[in-house]
Structure 1
Amino acid sequence: MSITDFNHLRAREWGMAALVLLFSFLLVFGSRTWRLESGSAISPEADTVLLIHETIGLEELVELMDAHGFRFNPDELRWASGILGWRRFNQGRYVFREPVGYPDFFSKLALGLQDPMLLRIPPGATKEALKERIAVQMQFETYELAAAMRDTSLLNRYGIEAHQLYGRILPDSYEVFWTSTPQRLLERLLSEFDSRVAEPYAGRMEELGRTVDEITTLASIIEWEARFDDEKPAISGLYWNRLNRRWRLQADPTVNYAKGERSRLVFADYRIDHPYNTYRIHGLPPGPITNPSLASIRSALFPEDHNYMYMVATPDGRHAFSRTYAEHRRKSREWTDWLREQRRIRVEMEREDALREEAGGSGQ
C-alpha cells in the first residue's frame, strides 16, 4: 500500500469517526432538547401540594420533590435548571395535578406563581381554637395572628376594639394565598363582614337601636346555644323578650365562657364573678363569646315574634320554650329526670362491664 493510499484510508477513518461523534452529539442534544421542551418531564402524584416555606435552592428543591413523590430525573433536572437559568425558588403553595415540563415548572416556582387555597373558618369556635384553626392552615404561626388581632392601627382603621374583632370573623370558606400575612388576612375578613353584614343590615340595626357589635354579641350567644339553625330565630326572640323587659339575659353560654370551658354547669358556676356572666350583669356582655354564623346574625336581627321567656334543653338537642315560670319548672324537671335516668343507665352499664372483665380475668 502506498503512502497516498494509506493517507486516504486514514482520512476516511477520521471522517467516519467525526461523523459518528457528530451523530452522537446531535442525538444527545436532540434528546435533551426534546426533554427540555417536553410537557411531561416531571410527573406528580395526583393533586400534589408543594409547600415552600422560604426561598430555596436547586438541591433543596430536589429533596422536596423527592419527599413529595414526584417522578423525575434528578440529573436531567439539574441540567435543565442550568440551561433555563432558574436556580432560586420562592416560598408559596404550589399545586400540581398533571405532568409538567421544565420551563413551566421552574418558572412557576421561581416567579412565585402560587395557587390559592380555601381557608375554612368554622362557626362557634373559642377564641384560642379559632386562632389555632386559622393558623394551622396558613404559613404564619398562631402567635403572629394573635399579635395582628391586637394591632391598634388595624383596629382603628375599622373603628373596633380587639374584643369586638372576634365576632366579625364570619364562618365560611375563603380563597386566599397560603403566604398571606395575618394583617392582610384580617383585612380581607373584616371587608367581607362589612360587605355581607354591616352595610346591608345597617338600616335594620338602626331600626332595632343596636350597634353592629351588640348584634354580633347577641348572635354569638345564639350560636353557642343553638344546635340547629331553624331554632335560632325562636331563641333570639326569647333573648330579645328578656332584653326588652330589662330582665337579666341569664344565658348559660355566657357562664360557660366565663368558666373558660364548655361543660355541664353546676349551681356554683352561675355565681362566677365575671363581666360576661349574664346571670350577674344586666344587658349584653361586653363582647362576643364566639364567632357567629350568618344564620345566627340574621336570627339576632330578625327574631321570632312570640311571648316565650324561658327555655330548657331537650334530649334531641333542641329546646322546650315556656311563657311562665311554672311551665318552665315542669319542663325543667322533665329534663332533669331524663339526665338522671341517663346517668343511672351509664352507671349500670359500667358496673356490668366491670363484672364481665372480672369474670374474664378469673377464668384465665
Structure 2
Amino acid sequence: MNKKNLIAAGLIVGSVMLSSFAFYAYQILYTPNILVDQESQLFAIYDGTTFEEVRNELYDRRIINDAVSFSLLAKLKRYDENVKPGLYELKSNMSNTEAINMLRAGLQTPVKLTFSTARKIEELAGKMTTTIQMDSTDLAPLLSSDSVASAYGFNQETFISMFLPNTYEVYWTISEKELLDRMKKEYDKYWTVERKAKAEEIGLTPEEITTVASIVNAETNFADEAPTIAGVYLNRLDRGYKLQADPTLKFAMNNFEIRRILNKDKEFDSPYNTYKYAGLPPGPINMPSISMIEAVLNYEDHNYLYFCAKDDFSGYHVFAKTLVEHNINARKFQNALDLQRIYR
C-alpha cells in the first residue's frame, strides 16, 4: 500500500473514530438517561451521602439507565466532589447534563409543610417535620426552650402564638433555625399595621388576641358563631368579670376528655383556671386557626355576657345577657347531660 493510500485509510479511520466519539459524547450529554419512558420522581439525598451512594441508588431504583455515562459526566463536572443534600425532582427523559446540573447546583423542589391546630407547643415538633428531613427530636427542645422563645420576642407561655396554622413551601433540608425564622417571618407578615391597630383598639396585644382566639377555638367548631363567642369574652374582660371558660380549666388540669365541669374542678389552682383567676391566662391554650384569630379581631359587638352549649348537642351555643337567663340555659344543658348519663 502506497503512502497516499495509508494517509487516506488513516483519515477514514480517524474520521470514523471521531464520529463515534462525537456520537458517544452527544449521547452522554444530551440523550435521555433519566427515567426513560417512566414518570417523574422525587429523589432525596441526605446529609453526608457520597457520590457513589447517589449513583448506586439511582441505578438500583432504575432511575438512570446507563450508570457509566452518568458517572463519567458527573466526574467531568466535578459533581462527585460536591454532592448537595436535598429533595430533587428528576423528570422523565432528562439527560445526564440536565440532571447533573440540577443536582450540582442544589436546585431542590420545595415541599409543602402543613400543620393545623395543636393543644400544646410540644405537639408541633411532630406535626412540622413530616415532610422535611429534620428530625422532630431535634426541633422539640427548641420549642420548649425559654431562651429560644425570648429570642423571638415571646415567653414559653406565649411562644405557640408565633406559629400560624397554614401550608408553607419550604426546602426539604431546612434547618431548625431557618424553620423558626420562617415562622416568625410569617407571623410578622400576618400582623399587619391594620391588624395591630384592631388589636390595640380592643385593648390587647397580638399575643393576647391569640390567647382569646385559642379559647374561642376550643369552644366552637363553627365559624359563624365564633365572632359572637369572642364578643362574650371581650365583654367580660372589659367589665372585669372572670372569663369562667371551661377550656382553660381543662388545659390547666391537662384533661381534655372532660365533658362536664364539676364545682370541685373550679378550685383547681392554676393561672390557667379562669374560674379562679380574673383576666386572661398566661398564654394560648392551643394553637388557634387563623380564622379564629380573625373572629376575635372582628368580634361581634353585642351585650351578651354568658353562653352555654345547646341542649341538643349540636355543638352550637345559646347566649344570654343576664345571669338569670344564663342559669336557665345552663340548667337545660345539665338536664340533657343527665339524660345522656354524662357525669364527667
More helix by share: 1
The one of 320, 323, 327 equivalent to 1:322 is: 320
- Asked if residue 29 in structure 1 is aligned to residue 27 in structure 2, the reply is no
Post-superposition offset of 1:69: 5.5
Residue matched to 1:284: 280
Measured against aligned partners, the alpha-carbon deviations of 1:311-333 in whole angstroms (never above 9, x if no partner) come to 22242222222233443344344
Which of 206, 209, 215 is equivalent to 2:200?
206
**Structure 1 stretch 147-156 or stretch 68-77: which is displaced more?**
147-156
Could you tell me whether the CA contact under 8 Å between 1:169 and 1:190 is conserved in 2?
A: yes
Could you tell me how far apart the structure 2 residues matched to 1:66 and 1:333 are? 71
Q: Kindly indicate whether the alpha-carbon contact (under 8 Å) linking 2:110 and 2:169 is maintained by their aligned counterparts in 1.
A: yes
Q: Closer, same or farther in 2 for the Cα pair 1:331/1:67, shift >3 Å?
A: farther
Aligned partners of 1:259 and 1:67: how far apart in 2?
Answer: 54
Deviation at 1:287, TM superposition (A): 0.8
| Match among 160, 167, 191 for residue 197 of structure 1 | 191
Over 3 Å counting, the alpha-carbon distance change for 1:156 and 1:339 in structure 2 is closer
| Correspondence list, 1:257-296, <5 A | 257-266=251-260, 267=262, 268-296=264-292
Indicate which of 161, 165, 168 corresponds to 1:174: 168
Q: Which amino acid letter does the alignment assign opposite residue 316 of structure 2?
A: R
Q: Name the CA distance, whole Å, in 2 between partners of 1:280 and 1:231.
A: 26
Partner Cα distance (2:97, 2:67) in 1: 15
Amino acid in structure 1 at the alignment position of 2:163? I
Hey, what does 1:48 align to over in structure 2?
A: 41
Gaps of at least 5 residues in structure 2 are none
Determine if the alignment matches structure 1 residue 131 to structure 2 residue 125: yes
Quick one: distance in 1 between partners of 2:86 and 2:161?
30
Decide whether aligned partners of structure 1 residues 340 and 40 sit closer, same or farther in structure 2, where only a CA change above 3 A counts: farther
**Paired AA for residue 307 in structure 2:** M
1:89 touches 1:111 (CA, 8 Å); kept in 2?
A: no
Structure 1 stretches lacking a partner, 5+ long: 1-7, 345-364
Alignment of 1:76 with 2:69, yes or no, is yes
Task: Identify the range of structure 1 (322-331 vs 276-285) with the bigger mean alpha-carbon deviation.
Answer: 322-331
Q: Give the conservation status (yes or no) of the 8 Å contact 1:168–1:216.
A: no
Alpha-carbon distance between aligned partners in 2 of 1:145 and 1:319, rounded to the nearest angstrom: 39
State the aligned residue count. 335
- Aligned twin of 1:355: none
Give the drift of 1:334. 4.0
Cα distance in 2, alignment partners of residues 261 and 143 from structure 1: 25
Conserved in 1, the CA contact under 8 Å of 2:34 and 2:90? no
Q: Kindly indicate whether the alpha-carbon contact (under 8 Å) linking 1:216 and 1:297 is maintained by their aligned counterparts in 2.
A: yes
- Residues 171 and 291, structure 1, Cα contact 8 Å, conserved in 2: yes
Work out which of the residue numbers 234, 242, 246 in structure 2 matches 1:248: 242
Give deviations 1:234-280, integer Å, cap 9, x for gaps. Answer: 01011112212222111121122223243124425443322212122
Pick the structure with greater CA Rg: 1
Residues of 2 paired with 1:63 and 1:38: CA distance?
Answer: 21
Alpha-carbon deviation of 1:218? Answer: 1.0
TM-score by length of 2: 0.84
Partner of 1:303: 299
How far, CA to CA, are the matches of 2:255 and 2:69 in structure 1?
A: 57
Counterparts of 2:39 and 2:307, CA distance in 1: 51
Moved more, 335-344 or 169-178: 335-344
Farther-moved stretch of structure 1 (333-342 vs 224-233): 333-342
Establish whether residue 107 from structure 1 lines up as the match of residue 112 from structure 2.
no
Give the Cα separation in 2 of the matches to 1:148 and 1:255: 27
Separation in 2 of the partners of 1:218 and 1:65? 52
Instruction: Please report how far the alpha carbon of residue 42 of structure 1 lies from its aligned counterpart in structure 2 after TM superposition.
Output: 0.3
Q: Distance in 2 between matches of 1:342 and 1:19?
A: 97
Aligned 8 A contact 2:34 2:91 in 1: no
Q: Which amino acid aligns with 2:320?
A: S
Contact 1:50 1:68 in 2 (8 A): no
Instruction: Give the match for residue 232 of structure 1.
Output: 226
Distance 1:208 1:292, change over 3 A: same
Aligned-residue CA RMSD in angstroms?
A: 3.2
* 8 A Cα contact 1:310 1:328, kept in partner: yes
Query: 1:163 aligns to what SS in structure 2?
Result: coil
Q: Distance in 1 between matches of 2:61 and 2:139?
A: 28
The TM-score, its normalising length taken from structure 1, stands at 0.79
SS at match of 1:282: coil
3-state DSSP of counterpart to 1:50 = strand
Identity level (%): 30
Deviations 1:83-141 (A, max 9, x none): 43321421112123433111221122223221222221213443222221012232222
One-letter amino acid of the counterpart of residue 28, structure 2 = L
